[in-house]
């Protein structure tokens, strides 16, 4: 423990955000980092608990609290406090493959489990992690780690999202020969095209790709496995195959004529178009001068909200079927459980500044679409409530809203079928690839799976954790044992 009284002497201080009205002028990241001394003070706030819940990843009432990667948080906070950055980095990289991703987009399960947060403000674990990895790149600590010995075993990873990248990174460092196949024109999966640039600058992904290629990983983009390359071809060439294709089958809008009405898009398609527009000469779907309605109150809906504001939307409303969460923890939701409280994210903050009110409308869904010559002009909404576990409409609550652009951010219902069918792997009733509990091998010889394709829609940190665990299982399959 660096400073026993640190949590008493220093107040929590987060990375500062550029003001909403300034940051919406572009798609750049909008956090200003603390200086080195301020970061040392923030690391000093870590108490090095006897039982550090921040790194526990234990399940309470069906939800995990603490870091799914079991990051050694007190250890590297202590090293940051002593300004031993290389030692701190070694402890961080022992459990985390891509801190530059989680340090930007993770909701910080670790901080919600920090004991400082029980009666006060938790340690800035999220910001400390990002500071550490960015300093490591800046100072040249992040050098290629090329395996001294190669096993000769070849592994194909299908999908280059966080799970696929973690599998590739782990198995490559073990000495196996890894090739990653990606159907898009760039690696990253939802990191690249599902998370907007202001949340995760795409240069960060390119930097990691360069490092992994220098270490020996081969990336093949614009290759759609199951279409451009067959499962049989991969089976003939590789000793093991890992499917990490995500859970990108979007939940449809259960409203008549939603498929044929123009002006309705799935959130990930909309976000993908916008990122491609930023990075290259690509005509995107734009919200400029449009009345936008977003169906879904989660992270993806919020990313759509921030994107629409930057594009110049005339108005934006975000519909959420669930009731508004409480602003404070309920007695039934004590620490260290994940706090089920109201969160006002960056997109909502921006909407409040631009339009003067919170864009979220709770306990509401789309009832009917109104179109003119096949193009969306309005939607009719209805209030809903849950009775005996079922959603029912509130009589007399219908409302008509102007809407030129309707974005569906209502979650996902499992993996896309064609890759699973190509490899003839079994699926669960949740439409994800079936394995034994806590295992990653499928019903097909030498075929494994990890990430959202295995567990369903989840967080980046969980995808990385799955990739790491899957890689160990693949290594055991290839070598008969594993020292990973």
Q: What is the pLDDT of residues 152-177, one digit of tens each?
A: 999 999 999 999 999 999 999 999 99
* pLDDT recorded at residue 3: 86
* CATH superfamily assigned to domain 264-408: FAD/NAD(P)-binding domain (3.50.50.60)
Contact 474, 242 (CB under 8 A): yes
Global confidence as pTM:
0.96
Tokens of 2: 């660096």
Q: What is the number of other CB atoms lying within 10 angstroms of the CB of residue 434?
A: 15
Report phi then psi at 55, rounded to 5: -110, 15
Cα separation, 313 vs 21, whole angstroms: 14
Tell me which DSSP letter residue 80 carries: H
| Closest listed residue to residue 174, CA positions, set 153, 193, 143 | 153
The answer to whether residue 2 scores a pLDDT higher than 80 is: no
* pLDDT recorded at residue 283: 82
CA 273, 247, 428: angle at the middle one, nearest 5? 160
* pLDDT recorded at residue 392: 94
Q: What is the number of other CB atoms lying within 10 angstroms of the CB of residue 321?
A: 17
Summary mean pLDDT of the chain: 96
Q: Where are the alpha helices (DSSP H) in 145-229?
A: 162-174, 190-193, 202-214
Mean pLDDT of 69-98: 97
* pLDDT recorded at residue 284: 83
Establish whether domains 154-248+413-479 and 264-408 are of one fold: yes
Cα separation, 122 vs 126, whole angstroms: 10
Mean pLDDT of 220-241: 97
Q: Which range, of 12-21, 25-34, 276-285, averages the lowest pLDDT?
A: 276-285
Give Cβ neighbours of residue 216 (< 8 Å, ≥ 6 apart): 146, 147, 172, 177, 178
Cα atoms in the 13 Å half-sphere on the side-chain side of 118: 13
Mean pLDDT of 390-396: 94
Task: Label residue 1 by pLDDT band (50, 70, 90).
Answer: low
Cα separation, 253 vs 475, whole angstroms: 42
* pLDDT recorded at residue 281: 79
Domain ranges of the chain: 6-139, 154-248+413-479, 264-408
Structure confidence by residue, pLDDT tens digits, 102-151: 999 999 999 999 999 998 999 999 999 999 999 999 999 999 999 999 99
* pLDDT recorded at residue 90: 98
Cα separation, 303 vs 307, whole angstroms: 6
Tell me which DSSP letter residue 438 carries: T
Give Cβ neighbours of residue 183 (< 8 Å, ≥ 6 apart): 221, 222, 223, 224, 225, 227, 228
* pLDDT recorded at residue 48: 81
E strands of 21-62, at which residues? 31-32, 58-60
Per-residue CA distances from 170 to 156, 240, 460 (Å): 13, 14, 16
The answer to whether residue 308 scores a pLDDT higher than 90 is: yes
For residue 336, whether the previous peptide bond is cis, meaning omega lies within 30 degrees of 0, is: yes
> Is residue 178 within a helix (H) or strand (E), and if so which, with residue range?
strand 177-181
Mean pLDDT of 6-28: 96
* pLDDT recorded at residue 415: 95
Cα separation, 482 vs 484, whole angstroms: 5
Structure confidence by residue, pLDDT tens digits, 203-218: 999 999 999 999 999 9
Burial 207-224 (b: 16+ CB within 10 A, else e): ebbebbeebbbebbeebe
Mean pLDDT of 85-95: 98
Cα separation, 80 vs 259, whole angstroms: 53
- What's the gap between Cα 433 and its chain centre? 20
Contact 2, 81 (CB under 8 A): yes
> Is residue 337 within a helix (H) or strand (E), and if so which, with residue range?
none
- CATH (one of 3.90.1150.10, 1.10.645.10, 1.10.1060.10, 3.40.50.300) for 6-139: 1.10.1060.10
Tokens of 285: 């779907």
- Report, at the CATH architecture level, how domain 154-248+413-479 is classified: 3-Layer(bba) Sandwich (3.50)
282 vs 477, higher pLDDT? 477
* pLDDT recorded at residue 458: 94
């Amino acid at each position: 423990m660096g400073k026993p009284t640190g949590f008493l002497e220093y107040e929590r201080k987060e990375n500062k955000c550029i003001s909403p009205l300034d940051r919406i002028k572009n798609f750049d990241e909008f956090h200003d980092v603390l200086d080195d001394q301020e970061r040392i003070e923030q690391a000093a706030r870590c108490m090095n608990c006897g039982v550090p819940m921040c790194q526990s990843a234990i399940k309470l009432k069906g939800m995990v609290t603490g870091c799914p990667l079991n990051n050694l948080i007190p250890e590297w906070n202590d090293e940051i406090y002593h300004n031993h950055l290389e030692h701190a980095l070694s402890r961080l990289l022992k459990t985390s493959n891509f801190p530059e991703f989680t340090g930007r987009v993770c909701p910080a399960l670790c901080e919600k489990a920090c004991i400082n947060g029980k009666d006060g403000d938790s340690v800035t674990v999220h910001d400390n992690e990002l500071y550490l990895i960015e300093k490591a790149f800046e100072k040249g600590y992040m050098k290629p780690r090329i395996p001294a010995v190669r096993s000769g075993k070849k592994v194909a990873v299908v999908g280059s999202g966080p799970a696929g990248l973690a599998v590739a990174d782990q198995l490559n460092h073990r000495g196996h020969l890894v090739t990653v196949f990606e159907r898009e024109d760039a690696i990253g999966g939802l990191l690249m095209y599902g998370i907007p640039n202001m949340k995760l600058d795409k240069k960060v992904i390119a930097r990691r790709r360069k490092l992994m290629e220098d270490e020996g990983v081969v990336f093949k983009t614009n290759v759609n496995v199951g279409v451009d390359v067959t499962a049989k071809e991969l089976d003939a060439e590789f000793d093991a195959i890992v499917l990490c294709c995500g859970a990108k089958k979007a939940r449809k809008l259960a409203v008549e004529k939603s498929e044929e009405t123009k002006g309705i898009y799935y959130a990930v398609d909309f976000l993908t178009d916008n990122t491609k527009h930023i990075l290259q000469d690509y005509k995107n779907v734009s919200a400029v001068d449009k009345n936008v309605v977003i169906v879904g109150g989660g992270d993806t809906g919020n990313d759509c909200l921030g994107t629409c504001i930057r594009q110049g939307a005339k108005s934006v409303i975000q519909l959420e079927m669930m009731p508004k969460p409480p602003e404070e923890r309920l007695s039934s939701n004590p620490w260290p459980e994940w706090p089920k409280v109201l969160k006002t994210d960056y997109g909502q903050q921006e909407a409040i500044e631009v339009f003067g009110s919170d864009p979220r409308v709770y306990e509401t869904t789309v009832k009917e679409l109104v179109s003119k010559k096949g193009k969306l002009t309005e939607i009719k909404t209805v209030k809903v409530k849950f009775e005996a576990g079922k959603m029912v409409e509130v009589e007399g609550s219908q409302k008509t809203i102007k809407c030129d652009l309707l974005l569906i951010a209502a979650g996902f219902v499992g993996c896309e079928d064609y890759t699973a069918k190509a490899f003839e792997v079994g699926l669960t009733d949740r439409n994800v690839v079936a394995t034994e509990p806590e295992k990653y091998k499928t019903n097909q010889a030498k075929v494994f799976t990890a990430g959202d394709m295995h567990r369903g829609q989840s967080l980046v940190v969980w995808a990385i954790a799955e990739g790491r665990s899957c890689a160990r299982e693949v290594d055991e399959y290839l070598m008969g044992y594993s020292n990973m």
